[in-house]
Structures are given as C-alpha cells and as structure tokens.
Chain A
Amino acid sequence: MSGAAEKIVPQNPSITPELVADHGLNAEEYQRLLDILGREPSMTELGIFSVMWSEHCSYKSSKFWLKKLPTEGPHVIQGPGENAGVVDLGDGQAAIFKMESHNHPSFIEPYQGAATGVGGIMRDVFTMGARPIANMNALRFGAPDHPKSRHLVSGVVAGIGDYGNCIGVPTVGGETNFDAGYNTNILVNAMCVGLADTDKIFYSAAKGVGHPVVYVGSKTGRDGIHGATMASAEFDDDSADKRPTVQVGDPFTEKLLVEACLELMREDAIIAIQDMGAAGLTSSSVEMADKGGVGISLDLDSVPQRESAMTAYEMMLSESQERMLIVLKPDAKDKAEAIFRKWGLDFAVIGETTGTGRLIVRHRGVIEVDIPVGELADSAPEYQRPYVLTEPPALLSPEEIPAPRRLSAALLTLIGSQHLCSRRWIWEQYDHMVMADTVQRPGGDAAVVRIHGTRKGLAITTDVTPRYCLADPEMGGRQAVAETWRNLTAVGATPLAITDCLNFGNPERPEIMGQFAGAIEGIAAACRALAYPVVSGNVSLYNETNGIAIPPTPAIGGIGLIPDIAQMMTLAFKAEGEVILLIGAERGHLGQSLYLDVHFGRRDGAPPPVDLEHERATGDFVRDCIRKGAVTSVHDCSDGGLYVAIAEMALAGNIGANLTLPEHHPAHAILFGEDQGRYVVTVTAGKADTLCAEAADLNLDIRVAGHTGGHELTLDGQDPISLQALKTAHDDWLPQYMSIR
C-alpha cells in the first residue's frame, strides 16, 4: 500500500475550536490529541477521539473511584474490564453477567431506547461465550402525575418486552420506582445473566498479527451516530432534537446472532470477539487491538452498509445494533462464514491485525485514520474531580414522628401506593417463562432460574433505595448492596457477586461527585464485609436536565447460587397456624421511611443504618435455617417495614395473620420502621422455640411477630383489615394508572 492516494484526506470542514467543542473535547483534551498525532486530526479522527474519550467510553471521571471497589474473590473468574463479569458456579460452569444503563436514549425514545438497552447487554454476555438465560431490569420513572410518565412507562416496558420476548430469554424480574427526581431523566438499567462452560469463555484481546478481522451481524447505517457522546452530556429543553442519535433495535437479528456466535464458539475458531456497542466499530476495534497489544487496519469499503454514500466518519461512529467484530484464526474463515451464512447474517472480512500498533482506516482508497492504538485507548484523560461529600442528616427518633389515626388504614395506603403496589402489569408483558427453567417467577425477593439440566438454581435480584442514597450516599450505597445480598439469602441462595450500574448527575459539580464518592465507599464497604465482590458494571453520569440532577442511584444487580432447588424458599405463607418470627435487630427507625414520605410528605432524617456485621450474621443464620428445612417461608423487611413485609407474605399465600406487638416501642415505629438486616420467617408451631434458642446462641435478635391464619391481618387481635382489601389496593394501582389516557 503506497502512493499518492495514501495521504490523510484534506480537512473539510477544517477543524475549528467550535467543531472540537461540539465533539465534547475541551481545550486540554484537544491538545493531548494534537500531541499524540503530531498534526491536526482528520474529521474522522476527531470523531474517534471524541467517542473514545467520552465519559461513557473512557470513565474519565469515575475511574479513580472505581479502583476502590473490591473485585476479587475465590469464585471470580473475570472481574471488571471485560465485556461482562464471570463467576464460577462449579461443575465446569460459569455465570457471566452485567448491568448497563440506557438512560439518555430511553428518555428521548422510550421504546427503542429500552429495547436496544436489552439488546446491548445481551451482546455483552454472549460475546463472552455465554448463552443468556435471564434478563432483569431496574427502572426509575418520574412522578405519576408528570405528563410524560405514562408514555415513558408504556414505551419502556413494551421495548424491553418485545426485545427479550422475541429472542426467547426470560425477563424474570427487576424493580421500578416512581419519583419526581426522575421527571426529566428516567433510568433504564438492563441486566443479563448468561451461562457458559468455564473452558469456553471468550475474551476481547486480539493477540497475534495477520489475523482476519471479521464483521458479522446487521448492516451499518446512520443510526446512533454520537450516541456515546449524547450519553456523556446533560439534557436541556431541546433534548427531543437528539432523537436521531437513538439506535433502532432488531431482536430477530440478535436472536440469529446469538445462535450463530454460540455455534461458532463451539469450534476452535475465535481469537477475540467484541460486540459493537457504544461507539460501534471504533470502540470494538480499538479495544480489541489495545488489549491484544497489536495494530489493526480496516477497509471500510468491505463493511456491509445499509445506506449508500456513507462517509468514514459515519461508519466509524455508527451505533447500528446487532453487530459483532471477531478476530478469527486464519484457517477458520470458511467454517465461520458458512455458519453466519446459514443464519442469514452478513459476514465480511474488513481488515486484519497488524504489528504497527496503529489503527489505520482506509475508505475509497484513502487513509482516513492513522492513530496509535495504545495512546488512543490508554491516554484518555483521567480526572480526580473536586468533590464535596454529602453531610448525613441527623437521626430522627420515633417520638418525633406522629402515629397514624389507624394503623391498618396506613398500611392500606402504603401497599396501594405507587411505591409498593404490585408490578404485575409490567412483568406480565415480559415472557418470564421461556426456556422452561424459571423456578421462581417475578414478585418474590429474587427470581430463580434453574441451571439447565441440573438441580442448581441461580438467584438474581436488583436493588437500590434512591431516597436513602440522596440523604446519605455512603449509607445508601451500603444498603443497596446489602439489600441484594438479603434478597438472595431470602430465597435460599449463597450470594456470589454483584454488577453495579452507577447513575448520577453531572460529575463536574462537586456535590454530585461527592455523592458518587460516598456511594462508592458504601458499596465497597458492604462488598468487603459480605465477601461479595463487584465483577462488572457501568457508570452513567450527566443524568440531569437544566441543572437538576437525579437522586444518586447506584443500582446493584446480585447473583447467588442455590445448590439444590428443592431448598429454594419463597415468601408466601404456606399454612395456617404457623409461628411468624422476626429475625434481626428492631429499632423502629422511621427516618427516610416510606411511611414518613407517603403519610406526611416528609423525607427527612438519616436513612436506616446498615450494620454489616449484623447483616452478615443474620443472613447466614437465615440461609442455614432454609437449607436445614427449618422454615416454611422467608421474606426480607425492606421498604415499608414489618407490616408491609407480613402483608406481602399473606397476599402471596392468601393466608392472614395476627401480629404481636412488643410493648416497649410505639406501634407505628415497630410496624413501619425500615431497620435493615431483618427477615420475617414462618415455622411450624412446634419449631419456634428451637429456632429462637439457636438464634439466641448466636446473639441474634429474634422474637415472635405473630401467627398465620384467617383472611385478615390483625394487630394483637385488633384493628382488622381483610386480605381482599389489601389485595385490591395492591393489584389495582398500576393497571388503573396506566389505563388513564
């Protein structure tokens, strides 16, 4: 390759400071670019630096803090840094999982934004050799009375459903919040869990020179250009104009891509594989080359194209969906091509790995890009942004918070509120049973899918309580991790590891950076104390509009293992006449509780403290009880407190209960306090004493909280409320809300 045509194209348009600023690069970053290249960039090169150094791709504001997270453990096969995290499940199998945000596109175009979020996270998982076996999602919408909320709920849920349903991977659960803090920045966090053989895990390092670089999947179009850049900026009133940056999903192609990739992975053909996600062809080729320590040359004329006359700039920055880049072993090309042709997918050799260490991109006979890979990938700026930690509010004592007129009426209001009502309207639109391994469906503490062909179960949950995080990010971070750990424990699983999806506002504001720093410290502390490392994750910053940021929302996705699904636990009351026990310390903490919010419109005080030693001791005890068959139902106490937890167990089992109230505390604090690290369990009548003695031996708090039976809930025999009334309130809120036009 030589000759006159091999020159960098003349600059047209010329690179002006405005153009640089439009690409999200500041003056210092642009100078760094000039130093690396030793000349002005071409338009395509500017675009490539812009996306690679965007917050979304480079983690430039968060990298420093992310290093504080514990990422190692005896069962961790791969921690953060690859497409997804990998955890050993024993018997030669591994779980591969990650959670990722698709917030900015979902606000602009909820259906496609959410759908492509699901598609993207699934590609991250099957890229590594795993068959996706379960999807989850963590959603935050604005206040119910915000004019856009219904439209966004409807579009996001349909988008998630249509994508996962078509591919045939069950969407087994998740969580949904409604809060005014998300009015103009909704959060759509999608998680995927896959299953792989430990000796068939694929990585993204393109080691070796002269190997073919192969493009498979959909054709490249002009959609999603600048998606990564958009996701690295805040919104203003003109955000809707960004709709063309949203990608369009095609789950059918993704289904074909899953099958074709997994079929190819059974052959000895792949050196490295990477999906084309954010920043498309650019980030996939640069990351593979960088990790493999090689150069890469691409010929864009060979790229399958959906539209005519695309420029190099457009092709390198397109975020068209359902595409993968593979570095093949040289003798595997024919075999690979036959597989992709069989599945009706495009297959094109578009380049090769080289010994130059440079990314060289040719288009129509000219070199459009010539950048050193290592510096492009590794010299991204890294900021230690100034931060101001959030001052934690003072504790509220229960005496400062009024009692309701009637306790049962307060329960009814809570359970029929947008915060605690049934999410059935959402998950019935998701195929949660396909693959015929869903052994615990949505609605429980954690979803459980059977590991196909075995007796083992994989429990999955996502959690965070944004109002706690807003009041005290450090405690909120702890609580989010602890709650996932608790939910996995409640179904009988041994928690293994987490993925984190960290959603925050503009990191250039010190108070937002302080929220981020606090949350990281909290997450790290909880992970260490619970031996529950972070193996993958994603950071989404700039979730703010016109200077108003979302509440800090570090969503945590946790997975755990149940050795035999015969030992799996559910929250439904199983029989009348059983004893209800409350395990864990009871303090009546009402600060930042839903009771305070829903009944008094107050969000004050400190969130409930999370004592990690107590958390672990209590959870380990409950898990032992489940494994021994000593308990008949288990539910953790979370939003809404003990009364709500018992009501949920009663509704699930269609069996009522009489609750026993201790004398030394105000009843409303006992019933609605959100003290952490607590579980409600039931035991058959004769077994309560033994269990209480065992707990006491371990210095754990335990007390009789009531007895099951009847068709209503009563408090020491008083203040009855029927299950039917609770069920109606619980079931009806969401369908009624969504039926209003």
Chain B
Amino acid sequence: MKASVLVFPGSNCDRDVAISLEAATDRPPAMVWHGLTEVPESDLIVLPGGFSYGDYLRSGCMAAHSPIMRDVVKKAKAGTPVLGICNGFQMLTETGLLPGVLMRNASLKFICKDVTLKVERNDTIFTNRYGRGKLVTIPIAHADGNYFADDDTLAKLEDEDRVAFRYCAADGSTAPDANPNGSRNNIAGIYDATGKILGLMPHPERLADIELGGTDGNPLFSSLMEALH
C-alpha cells in the first residue's frame, strides 16, 4: 500500500501517523509538502493532526484552501481513499468532502485523554480488522472537536450508517457523560457517502504501540493495509 501524508505548516502528528502507517504497511509513506500542487499517485491520502496554519481563522480552514488541497479534493472525488485525523477531519469538513462542522469543545477547553469509542461498522476499508460494535480505547487531543450538523444532515448520516465511531461509556452506552466535547449523537468520526473518506477526532496513531499503553489504534492501519495492498 502506498500512502501519502500531507504536511502543512503547523502539522504536528505527521511523523506519528507515518510511523503507524509504516508499521502496518512495511513501507514509509510519502511526506507531501503543502506547497506542491499534486499529490503523488497513492492508494491512500492522510491529512494528519496538528495546527495547520496555526488554526488561525478557523481550524482546518486555511489548509482547506492551500494549493495541494485542490488535488486532494479531485483525487478523493475520483475515488482515492482519504483519512483525516483531528485537524485532518477539520480540513475535510472545511473542504466539504465531509458534512458538518467541528466547533469549540463544549467545555471551551483543550482536552487530551483516552476515550472509549464504539466501532459502528466493520465493513469499511478503515475498520475491517475491528469487530462490529467493538469498544476501543483511543486518545483525543483537541480544542475543536464538537461535531455539529443540522437535523437533516444528522438524520441522513444515521440512516446511511455513516457514523464511524461514537464516544461511549465503558459499557458501550452513549450517555452524555461519555461525550467529551459536546458532539451531536456522540459522533467521533464519520464517512462520506462512498465509505472511502473517513474523518475522526481521536488519534489512532497514539495508541498503536504497547509501550504507549495500548494498541487499539493498530487495526485501523492494518484494515487499510488489508483493503488497499
């Protein structure tokens, strides 16, 4: 599998996700600078976490308008899978590749901690190595992760089974207590209509190594390897 990780000024999880990708695929991804106008031919494009352009104006907004992004949108619409993590998810909503918006956390504070997520589907290229409905522990680290979409959009996402991950309690219930940031329907990640674009706030690359305290992030990368090799 050939992956490309985009690097924007202010990206800071590009190295971390590259390590997880390399561990799953046995080859280092291409690191693609934002100033280029074309992403090399890839089986997967990754938009990493961080603070692209300092998160000035709005998280992900300026990255969505950077030169490389036109090509990302073009390739995504032509069917190249795209994974956006944290700031990458924010870029995906800003480009319109995914619906909705990520607002300031309900607490108005940056939150960094492990959360429990429910894997809603295991029939996608991102989750085929997870069990359906499985509960996994993956960290979040963001100030703007409060997913919002209007009622119609939300109903459509739910009807089309496009919620990828949901924040939940240890018993799998999606109680408000288990919602760290105020996201509607406890949404932590969503797919586009084709299931080939995933945006999620949690960082699977941060718990993909037993030395760091867990490996629940790993199946996401091995799923991609399975589907795209």
Question: Residues of A with Cβ closer than 8 Å to B?
Answer: 158, 161-162, 165-168, 250-253, 255-256, 342-344, 427-439, 441, 450, 565
- Tell me the bound Cα distance from A238 to B55 in angstroms: 35
- Pair B141/A433 contact, Cβ less than 8 Å: yes
Main secondary structure of the interface of B (DSSP, over half): mixed
| With A434-B12, A435-B16, A450-B211: A429-B109 Cβ-Cβ less than 8 Å | yes
Tell me the minimal C-beta distance from A155 to chain B in angstroms. 12
What are 19 sample pairs from A and B whose C-beta atoms fall under 8 A apart? A161-B110, A162-B110, A166-B10, A168-B50, A252-B9, A253-B54, A255-B12, A256-B9, A429-B111, A431-B141, A432-B112, A433-B139, A433-B206, A434-B141, A435-B15, A435-B16, A436-B212, A450-B211, A565-B211
- Pair A158/B51 contact, Cβ less than 8 Å: no
CB contacts (< 8 Å) of B206 on chain A: these are 433-434, 436
Q: 8 Å CB contacts to A: which residues of B44-95?
A: 49-51, 53-56
**CB contact between B209 and one of A162, A253, A431, A436 (< 8 Å): that residue:** A436
Asked if B132 CB lies within 8 Å of chain A CBs, one says no
- Pair B9/A343 contact, Cβ less than 8 Å: yes
Asked if B157 CB lies within 8 Å of chain A CBs, one says no
CB contacts (< 8 Å) of A450 on chain B: these are 211
CB contacts (< 8 Å) of A342 on chain B: these are 35
- Pair B9/A344 contact, Cβ less than 8 Å: yes
**CB contact between A166 and one of B19, B54, B209, B211 (< 8 Å): that residue:** B54
- Pair B110/A252 contact, Cβ less than 8 Å: no
**CB contact between B109 and one of A158, A168, A434, A565 (< 8 Å): that residue:** A158
- Tell me the bound Cα distance from A342 to B33 in angstroms: 10
- Pair A250/B112 contact, Cβ less than 8 Å: no
- Pair B12/A429 contact, Cβ less than 8 Å: no
CB contacts (< 8 Å) of A427 on chain B: these are 112
Q: Mark B1-42, 1 if CB is under 8 A from A, else 0.
A: 000000001101101100100000000000000010000000
- Tell me the bound Cα distance from A134 to B206 in angstroms: 16
- Tell me the bound Cα distance from A535 to B143 in angstroms: 36
- Pair B9/A255 contact, Cβ less than 8 Å: yes
**CB contact between A251 and one of B35, B49, B54, B212 (< 8 Å): that residue:** B54
Tell me the minimal C-beta distance from B125 to chain A in angstroms. 23
- Tell me the bound Cα distance from A162 to B104 in angstroms: 14
- Tell me the bound Cα distance from A168 to B9 in angstroms: 12
Asked if B205 CB lies within 8 Å of chain A CBs, one says yes
Query: Which residue of B is nearest A256, CB measured?
Result: B9
CB contacts (< 8 Å) of A344 on chain B: these are 9
Asked if B113 CB lies within 8 Å of chain A CBs, one says yes
Tell me the minimal C-beta distance from B15 to chain A in angstroms. 7
- Tell me the bound Cα distance from A436 to B207 in angstroms: 8
- Pair A439/B12 contact, Cβ less than 8 Å: no
CB contacts (< 8 Å) of A161 on chain B: these are 110
CB contacts (< 8 Å) of A256 on chain B: these are 9-10
- Tell me the bound Cα distance from A252 to B10 in angstroms: 6
- Pair B205/A250 contact, Cβ less than 8 Å: no
A165-B141, A342-B35, A435-B16 known; 9 new pairs, CB 8 Å cut-off, are A166-B51, A251-B54, A252-B56, A253-B54, A255-B54, A427-B112, A429-B110, A430-B110, A434-B49
- Tell me the bound Cα distance from A570 to B211 in angstroms: 13
- Tell me the bound Cα distance from A99 to B10 in angstroms: 25
Q: Which of B9, B19, B56, B205 has the most CB of A within 10 A?
A: B9
Listed from nearest, the 3 A-B pairs whose CB atoms lie closest are: A168-B12, A252-B54, A436-B16
- Pair A436/B12 contact, Cβ less than 8 Å: no
Tell me the minimal C-beta distance from B72 to chain A in angstroms. 20
- Tell me the bound Cα distance from A345 to B49 in angstroms: 22
Q: Which of A166, A253, A431 has the most CB of B within 10 A?
A: A431
Q: Mark B109-130, 1 if CB is under 8 A from A, else 0.
A: 1111100000000000000000
- Tell me the bound Cα distance from A343 to B213 in angstroms: 35
CB contacts (< 8 Å) of B15 on chain A: these are 435-436
CB contacts (< 8 Å) of B55 on chain A: these are 166, 252
- Pair A434/B13 contact, Cβ less than 8 Å: yes
Query: Which residue of B is nearest A169, CB measured?
Result: B12
- Pair B141/A252 contact, Cβ less than 8 Å: no
CB contacts (< 8 Å) of A435 on chain B: these are 15-16
CB contacts (< 8 Å) of A428 on chain B: these are 111-113
CB contacts (< 8 Å) of A432 on chain B: these are 112
Q: Mark B139-163, 1 if CB is under 8 A from A, else 0.
A: 1010100000000000000000000
- Tell me the bound Cα distance from A450 to B35 in angstroms: 32
**CB contact between A255 and one of B10, B143, B212 (< 8 Å): that residue:** B10
Tell me the minimal C-beta distance from B60 to chain A in angstroms. 14
Q: Which of A162, A165, A166, A436 has the most CB of B within 10 A?
A: A436
| With A431-B141, A436-B206: A252-B111 Cβ-Cβ less than 8 Å | no
CB contacts (< 8 Å) of B49 on chain A: these are 434
Q: Which of A253, A427, A433 has the most CB of B within 10 A?
A: A433
CB contacts (< 8 Å) of A250 on chain B: these are 54
CB contacts (< 8 Å) of A437 on chain B: these are 212
**CB contact between B12 and one of A158, A167, A441 (< 8 Å): that residue:** A167
- Tell me the bound Cα distance from A433 to B212 in angstroms: 9
